[in-house]
Amino acid sequence: MESIQATKQRFGIIGNDPKLNRAVEKAIQVAPTDISVLVTGESGVGKESIPKIIHALSHRKHHKYIAVNCGAIPEGTIDSELFGHEKGAFTGATSTRNGYFEVADGGTIFLDEVGELPLPTQVRLLRVLENGEFLKVGSSSLQKTNVRIVAATNVKIVEAIEKGKFREDLYYRLSTVDINLPPLRERSEDIHLLFRKFASDFAQKYKMPTVRLEEQAISLLLQYRWSGNIRQLRNVAEQISVLETERSIDYKTLKHYLPNMGSNLPAVIGSKKSQSDFSNEREILYKVMFDMQRDVNDLKKLTMELMNSTNSSEVKEENSTLINKIYSKEHDHEEQLAAIVEDDYSDDNSDVEVLNISETPEQKSSKYDFAEEIEEEENLSLHEKELELIKKSLEKYKGKRKDAADELGISERTLYRKIKQYNL
């Protein structure tokens, strides 16, 4: 069995971090077997090195090794890419094509970003893992293949399973052995070593002297979080090698190449989205409308009692619970409707009228004052009562529509329409 150090030198793996060494060791141990392997880790940590080690140290090393980026293949064509298709299977299929599983028979397939596979393709892949069988797109003839599958993902598969985006049975088939590569920020001793290696490589590539970091710049390099991991570090080393004329890099110069250096702490992001009974604006709107319908019915009941009673104080006492219930909801209704209208509708084409009926205590008392003044008339219709209230309100505020609308508990737009309707 090849040693860890020899394997790292052979495949260009830089670093002595214990977690990295353990990942390489596991790859060496599983290589002689046909066990499926799942490589996990953040984007840019170098997951593609592990399947190369596994293939090179296995008995399949003389057969094909194919790396497939599942996230880069469109959903409509990924089945054809992986399993092949027959002539005429779909528009544009002018000839029969062999898929990767057929081409790599006897070898190894590396499925990068396997968490991005669509669910129908996951079912096909599960069948290959279980018994080595697959069907070409547009074919009814079952085919066999003998491939070793190594998959990698930067997606949290357990969360994807909970959301229904990844099959649990496929996860257990892929992750017979799970190899995790640590992020660069957890390999502090390797960061400067990697930078020096990249700087040396780019110096040879572009035929220029190698850049070197001063002590303060090295400290800054080690403190940075490196959210892009090794890929980001390599890009920074290349930029500095090409753009800087001075070969000695100080703190200030290096800081210029590190984005978001002012805020080096990880962002605090809620792990779970807040759950609500209403997941979209339509459901919120329905709820508001139903609540408003109930409130209107309660208002009708209260209005009729006020109209049929000469003592408003007694009515208010008897219906205090109803009054509190109605007016306690108004503010919530206004906020919900205002948010929906602001996002999706303009004032010109909105069919939703926000009833601004919030009042000061003085305005509330004045509403009941003018309600007491309504005289009962057996032949007075609802429209006539409405007209009379609008006239009295306009007279009270000397034709100021905004104040009159607030008094009546309706929007100024609705009052304007009523004025046009009754030719006031």
DSSP 170-186: HHHHHTTEEEEPPPGGG
Task: Please write the tens of the pLDDT for every residue from 14-56.
Answer: 999 999 999 999 999 999 999 999 999 999 999 999 999 999 9
Please tell me which residue, 291 or 274, carries the higher pLDDT value. 291
- pTM, to two decimals: 0.62
* Out of 33-37, 245-249, 292-296, 303-307, least confident range: 303-307
Please, which pLDDT band fits residue 339 given cuts at 50, 70 and 90? low
Region 378-383: mean pLDDT is: 58
Q: Are 124 and 83 in contact (CB under 8 A)?
A: yes
The whole-number pLDDT of residue 363 equals: 45
Q: Are 183 and 138 in contact (CB under 8 A)?
A: no
- From residue 90, give the alpha-carbon distance in Å to each of 75, 79, 336: 14, 12, 48
* 392: Cα separation from own chain's centroid: 55
Cα separation, 81 vs 96, in Å, equals 12
Please tell me which residue, 420 or 270, carries the higher pLDDT value. 420
Task: Please write the tens of the pLDDT for every residue from 234-264.
Answer: 999 999 999 999 999 999 999 999 987 655 5
The whole-number pLDDT of residue 418 equals: 81
> What are the two backbone dihedrals, phi and then psi, of residue 75, each rounded to the nearest 5 degrees?
-60, -35
Q: How many residues does the chain have?
A: 424
Cα separation, 319 vs 302, in Å, equals 8
CA atoms within 13 A on the CB side of 25: 7
The whole-number pLDDT of residue 375 equals: 47
Q: Are 6 and 33 in contact (CB under 8 A)?
A: no
Please tell me which residue, 210 or 420, carries the higher pLDDT value. 210
- From residue 348, give the alpha-carbon distance in Å to each of 186, 295, 334: 56, 27, 18
Instruction: Please give the helix or strand (H or E) that residue 311 lies within, else none.
Output: none
Max alpha carbon distance in the chain (Å)? 105
Q: Shortest CA distance to 43 belongs to which of 5, 18, 78, 71? A: 71
Does 293 have pLDDT greater than 50?
yes
The whole-number pLDDT of residue 112 equals: 96
Cα separation, 93 vs 274, in Å, equals 46
Q: Are 182 and 20 in contact (CB under 8 A)?
A: yes
Instruction: Please give the helix or strand (H or E) that residue 43 lies within, else none.
Output: none
Percent residues over pLDDT 90 in the chain: 57
> What are the two backbone dihedrals, phi and then psi, of residue 13, each rounded to the nearest 5 degrees?
-90, 120
The whole-number pLDDT of residue 128 equals: 94
Please tell me which residue, 294 or 186, carries the higher pLDDT value. 186
